[in-house]
Amino acid sequence: MTVPLLIDPFARPISYLRVSVTDRCDFRCVYCMAENMTFLPKKELLTLEELDRMCSAFVRMGVEKLRITGGEPLVRRDIMTFFHSMTRHLDSGALQELTLTTNGSQLARFADELVSAGVKRINVSLDTLDEEKFARVTRWGRLPQVLNGLDAAQKAGLRIKINTVALKGFNEDELFKLTEWCASRDMDLTFIEVMPMGDLGGEDRVGQYWSLKDLRGQLAEHYTLTDLDHRTGGPARYVQLDETGQQVGFITPLTHNFCESCNRVRLTCTGELFMCLGQEDNADLRTPLRASEADDLLEDAIRAAIARKPKGHDFDYSRQRADGQVSRHMSHTGG
């Protein structure tokens, strides 16, 4: 039986699901988590079987790309079982891409298995190449462990994109170093503007904010930037640096609006569906999932949620304060 595809009220087809499989992490990045986090009790989490049912329902309804995130997805126990179970959707052709966003700390352990599950490209978050600064921004992370992970991932054949949060007064001085390093290792690079997520107690969001317009201007002083057309339906815009041949992306939720082409929704590890990263509205999918062994209730709930997908977010720093702030942490919805 064919299931009707998911189209939202603004005629945007929903083809991309991001799934946070855990709220836990082995790092405590200053813009993402407080140092002392209280994590969810295990019974609140979707089991791996439930995650499979959720994702499979979305794939049946037209989702073609699945990104696994967190928290740190690779610290969830037995997460490889889940990756391997998603391989069947790649094999059937329903799913075009299975991928993940990771801090890289566990890649040395899991790179080969990810490849065997059908993962081809991954995003690895890395804000600095300086060991001391890395320890400061991640609080608990250690740079050599991540660099080993990157080596293992490349050796296993994974294509890597580095995600770097642009932080004023922190990694401004590493712009060219990071860019050249990625070029020399044949990795793509995307910069992300820091977003006003979560109340982390005393963090200065406006002070941390380094506009990617400025960052791009600095890059343009050193390199010839050619705009690339391809978009992912997401907030990233890409350029090519003619001198190095590499692609550099900019995720600019604050200086540009990207909502008109939004094709994605986000599922948390407790089964809440967020239809927009920048809005509080969410739909509980765990209750309909657990209410029946068949998926009819779940599919109805997914459809009802997509019918509420808003036109866009309201983030705005233009008045020198973090307007449109949402109270949850990025680790909750997975970024």
Residue 91: which H helix or E strand, with range?
A: helix 79-92
Minimum distance from CB of 126 to ligand SAM (Å)? 9
Question: Rule CB under 6 A: is residue 118 a binding residue for ligand SF4?
Answer: no
Question: Rule CB under 6 A: is residue 22 a binding residue for ligand SAM?
Answer: no
Residue with Cβ nearer ligand SAM (224 or 327): 327
Alpha carbon 62 to its chain's center = 20
Minimum distance from CB of 92 to ligand SF4 (Å)? 31
Among 119, 160, 197, 322, binds ligand SAM (CB under 6 A): 197
Judged by beta carbon distances under 5 to 8 A according to partner kind, the member of ligand SF4, ligand SAM, none in contact with residue 118 is none
Question: Rule CB under 6 A: is residue 71 a binding residue for ligand SF4?
Answer: yes
Residue appearing with tokens 């599922």 = 267
* Closest listed residue to residue 227, CA positions, set 48, 17, 236: 236
Q: Quick one: which segment of 167-175, 191-199, 213-221, 308-316 binds ligand SAM (CB under 6 A)?
A: 191-199
Judged by beta carbon distances under 5 to 8 A according to partner kind, the member of ligand SF4, ligand SAM, none in contact with residue 247 is none
Question: Rule CB under 6 A: is residue 102 a binding residue for ligand SAM?
Answer: yes
Name which of residues 49 to 88 contact ligand SAM (CB under 6 A). 69-70, 72
Q: Which residues have a Cβ under 8 Å from the Cβ of 304 and sit 6 or more positions away?
A: 283
Residue 90's CB is within 10 A of a number of other CB atoms, namely 18
Residue 282: which H helix or E strand, with range?
A: strand 282-284
Q: DSSP per residue over 288-316, as a string?
A: HHHH-SSSHHHHHHHHHHHTT--S----B
* Closest listed residue to residue 18, CA positions, set 286, 263, 307, 312: 263
Burial of 242 (0-12, 13-18, 19+ CB in 10 A): exposed
Size of the site for ligand SF4 (CB under 6 A): 12
Question: Rule CB under 6 A: is residue 331 a binding residue for ligand SF4?
Answer: yes
Q: Which residues have a Cβ under 8 Å from the Cβ of 57 and sit 6 or more positions away?
A: 295, 298, 299, 302
Minimum distance from CB of 63 to ligand SAM (Å)? 19
The pattern of x and - marking residues 16 through 35 that bind ligand SF4 according to CB under 6 A reads ---------x-xxx--xx--
Q: Which residues have a Cβ under 8 Å from the Cβ of 140 and sit 6 or more positions away?
A: 26, 27, 28
Residue appearing with tokens 């799934």 = 19
Residue with Cβ nearer ligand SF4 (98 or 100): 100
Minimum distance from CB of 279 to ligand SF4 (Å)? 20
Binding interface with ligand SAM (CB under 6 A): 25, 31-32, 69-70, 72, 101-103, 125, 163, 165, 192, 194-195, 197, 330-331, 334-335
Give the interface with ligand SF4 as residue ranges (CB under 6 A): 25, 27-29, 32-33, 70-72, 103, 125, 331
